[in-house]
Structure 1
Amino acid sequence: MPQTVVITGASAGIGRATAREFGKRGADVVLIARGRAGLDAAAKEVESLGGRPLVQVADTCDARQVEAAADAAEQAFGPIDVWINCAFTSVFAPFDEITAEEFRRVTEVTYLGFVNGTRSALLRMLPRDRGTIVQVGSALGERAIPLQSAYCGAKHAINGFTSSLRTELLHRGSNVRVTIAQMPAVNTPQFSWVRSRLPRHPQPVPPIYQPEVAARGVVHAADHPGRKQYYIGASTLATVWANRLAPALLDRYLARTGFDSQQTDLRPPSGESNLFEPVDRPGGGDHGAHGIFDDSAHSHSFEAVLARHPAAVASVLALGAGVAATAKAALSRRVHANAA
């Protein structure tokens, strides 16, 4: 029997690339997003790769729409085996330039959309005592950066919500599993359609990875949901450890570099944003999985290989902690010397 996999945010970016990966397996893939053009294109890709697609147009911030999509999924393909929450939206701007309506919208989609998807998945998985939920998280859920306060807040909330849920599942002895795949900077179309008030075109903070790297990480997490979370990309791991060992120093570093590192030399996008309405509606075109940073994005990740070998990861983490502690001590001595 093929797997039944539900993916929110499946019309572009990581969700789109993940749909392709499951299509290669011959899975039944339920594609949920707002943009019809992107969904239809994703469905064609899944089918061409050997899978069976089902398109469901839905806004994940609306629990009723998500629940209707879940019903349609099981009517078409049977019990849901894997549910992947990936849909999001964002605003690039200093916090005081983001309106209350914009901040609420980012939170409703990027955080509550995950809550709604998780609820619909659990309603079906808990009675059967089986199933896997994968939350597509971010390094920014561990370490916030400037200009993305709404998105960072939502990703932090996903971590807290999922940790709470995990303990509840452990308490009841459930065989339903939930895990998080924490992502690095990824070359997705969001940087060209996100709402931005920056003077230049936004970009992911380098190093940048291709969506296929992220998708392989999501699939691995779905196959091995026993771990609490997976860090996709060496930069994600480095960010987590730097924040744990020297958060105040990292604050200062990001205050100096975090504005320029999130902007290119290009003019800001001139088109509409996807904050309240999809930009890939009929007539608007399909945006695919990739953004405009193909020339600088990595197609492989050394850490992704390590993730399949936990003993190696432990060794790398121990080494990284030692190096980071040494660097922190050296930097602290330099700061004190300069102060004196």
Structure 2
Amino acid sequence: MSDRPVTSRPVLAITGGSSGIGRCTAALFARRGWNVGLIARGEAGLEAALADVRRAGGSGCMVAADVSDAEALERAAAEIEQKLGPIQAWVNGAGASAYGRFMDLPEEDYRRVTQVTYLGVVNGTRVALRRMQPRNHGTILNVGSAVALRAVPLQSAYSAAKYAVAGFTEAVRAELLHDSSRVHLGIVHPPSTNTPFFNHAASRLEDGVPRPPPPVYEPEIVADAIHLAITERRREVQVGGQTVALGMANTVMPGVLDWALGRFGQGMQVSHSGRAGARREETLFQPSAVPSPVHGAFGQEAMRRSAQMSLNRSPGLATMLLGLGALGVLACLAGPARRS
């Protein structure tokens, strides 16, 4: 397919588009009528993701850029618009993690995780707004995480960065609303997802390798949530029952969750499987020289459907069920009070 601008299809730009959720999302949008501009560091991964987009029926282009480099992102956006046309939606999907207890993580690991996972979102949002605000149109979608609703041990840098992404999203959204802007800013919080993220994360673990805590979901579910959030201009989409339960538990009984994560949180994130360890390639400081797949090493346990996503598509039903759940919690709390 030609890379000249095609204005009959909307244009999506996505950072972190060469692997995992980003690569999966790019192909999904191409199947559903979008052209896609891919941004990531590694040429090999970008080429593979671009092939996915074209097989799915979309036009696409790829630009190698590090999201921590604001000027490089600006050039990437300019090239995408030159080749595909105005960007209608921008997904900040790049992220990186370093596993280890806080005192075992070197300062440079902490800084790099923050630069990519948080400041990469800041840079991407600024680049997108420079284009969307003058047009008074467009959607920016930030990829958060379940750990933005409740932080977990062994991932203090990543958890903190995702909390920062959530706070940043709320602050900038309020500014856009103050200006009566028609640019929409949303966030999607994925659960544990079967992607190469865990194989690519830096590890300072004494024993074992990083793994997603169960339950694990396939990335197609998250890509579908991103599409829903963009096309319906949702404020926030929490993906999977795990994510919703984690956020609710942290609100209702944070002390109990402290205890549970202190007792079990580290073991749930470490694998001693040779299969998981064999596929490791840390990419915190440099991109992979080979294409990175959509799926990770945990497909045997990953769920391919999510009841929570069905509720996300029916917000009225979700609100009703949430209300019933809240009434149940209040009833449980009121019972002991009446007996006292």
| TM-score in same-fold range (> 0.5) | yes
Letter in 1 for 2:244: L
Q: How does 1:287-306 map to 2 (within 5 A)?
A: 287-306=292-311
Equivalent of 2:228 in 220, 226, 244: 220
Alignment CA distance shift 1:96-1:187 (3 Å)? same
Equivalent of 1:208 in 216, 223, 245: 216
Is the counterpart of residue 274 in structure 1 residue 289 in structure 2? no
SS in 1 for 2:320: helix
**Are the aligned partners of 1:13 and 1:211 in contact in 2 as well (CA < 8 Å)?**
yes
**Are the aligned partners of 1:245 and 1:328 in contact in 2 as well (CA < 8 Å)?**
no
Aligned equivalents of 1:296, 1:316: Cα separation in 2: 28
Q: How does 1:1-340 map to 2 (within 5 A)?
A: 1-198=8-205, 199-225=207-233, 227-267=234-274, 269=277, 271-279=280-288, 281=289, 285-323=290-328
Aligned equivalents of 1:243, 1:47: Cα separation in 2: 42
SS in 2 for 1:307: helix
SS in 2 for 1:120: helix
How big is the shift at 1:325? Answer: 5.7
Letter in 2 for 1:85: N
How big is the shift at 1:28? Answer: 1.2
Which piece of structure 1 moves more, 24-33 or 311-320?
A: 311-320
SS in 1 for 2:122: helix
How big is the shift at 1:326? Answer: 6.6
How big is the shift at 1:320? Answer: 3.2
**Are the aligned partners of 1:90 and 1:148 in contact in 2 as well (CA < 8 Å)?**
yes
How big is the shift at 1:38? Answer: 1.1
Aligned equivalents of 1:39, 1:321: Cα separation in 2: 45
Alignment CA distance shift 1:260-1:324 (3 Å)? farther
How big is the shift at 1:272? Answer: 4.0
Letter in 2 for 1:219: H
Letter in 2 for 1:203: R
**Are the aligned partners of 2:312 and 2:318 in contact in 1 as well (CA < 8 Å)?**
yes
How big is the shift at 1:26? Answer: 3.1
List per-residue Cα deviations over 1:42-85 (Å, max 9, x = no partner): 10011011001101100000000100000001111111100000
Aligned equivalents of 1:134, 1:207: Cα separation in 2: 25
Aligned equivalents of 2:332, 2:14: Cα separation in 1: 41
How big is the shift at 1:329? Answer: 8.8
**Are the aligned partners of 2:60 and 2:84 in contact in 1 as well (CA < 8 Å)?**
no
SS in 2 for 1:5: strand
SS in 2 for 1:133: strand
List per-residue Cα deviations over 1:290-310 (Å, max 9, x = no partner): 000001001111111111111
Alignment CA distance shift 1:80-1:200 (3 Å)? same
Aligned equivalents of 2:313, 2:270: Cα separation in 1: 34
Equivalent pairs counted in the alignment come to: 327
**Are the aligned partners of 2:229 and 2:235 in contact in 1 as well (CA < 8 Å)?**
no
Alignment CA distance shift 1:67-1:170 (3 Å)? same
**Are the aligned partners of 2:199 and 2:281 in contact in 1 as well (CA < 8 Å)?**
no
Aligned equivalents of 1:126, 1:22: Cα separation in 2: 23
Alignment CA distance shift 1:326-1:99 (3 Å)? farther
List per-residue Cα deviations over 1:180-213 (Å, max 9, x = no partner): 0111110010111211122112111111000000
SS in 1 for 2:86: coil
Unaligned 5+ segments in structure 1 are 334-340
